[in-house]
Structure 1
């Protein structure tokens, strides 16, 4: 998957995350299933952003961006920005 494909695929989860966050602030919170869905979307987005950062770093230093790999959720989420 190239960088543009990753960016194109992020739109749906971003929209879903915004919808759930908006619902949580306007209502009295989220139902358990919505909380679970939000957490799943957050992890999915973290992994996508991590993959994009990997690709860009590899490219910046003259390496093949296709060598970037989707990391396990616990690894991708463990990084500090």
Structure 2
């Protein structure tokens, strides 16, 4: 997966988030379903941003960015802010 692939994935997830919020504001989406789907999207976005950071860190260290692997949802969600 290239950096462009990761960025495209992030954009697609953000677009999905906006669509969910639009459906919710129109009343065409059950609020419980919205919360569940938004929570899932947030985890996927966190993973994608984390992968992008890992790829860029490898480049800065003179390593191949292609060796970066996505972190698990538990690992990404467990990071301290």
Which TM-score band (shorter chain)? Answer: 0.7 to 0.9
| 1:4-45 Cα deviation digits (max 9, x unpaired) | 111012112102223445666x58xx6111110000000000
Q: What TM-score, normalized to structure 2? A: 0.81
Structure 2 segments unaligned to the other structure (5+ residues): none
Structure 1 segments unaligned to the other structure (5+ residues): none
Question: Aligned residue pairs: how many?
Answer: 79
Instruction: Give, in angstroms, the shift of residue 64 of structure 1.
Output: 1.2
- Extract structure 1 runs of 4+ deviating beyond 6 A: none
Q: Could you tell me how far apart the structure 2 residues matched to 1:22 and 1:77 are? A: 26
Residue 36 of structure 2 corresponds to which residue in structure 1? Answer: 36
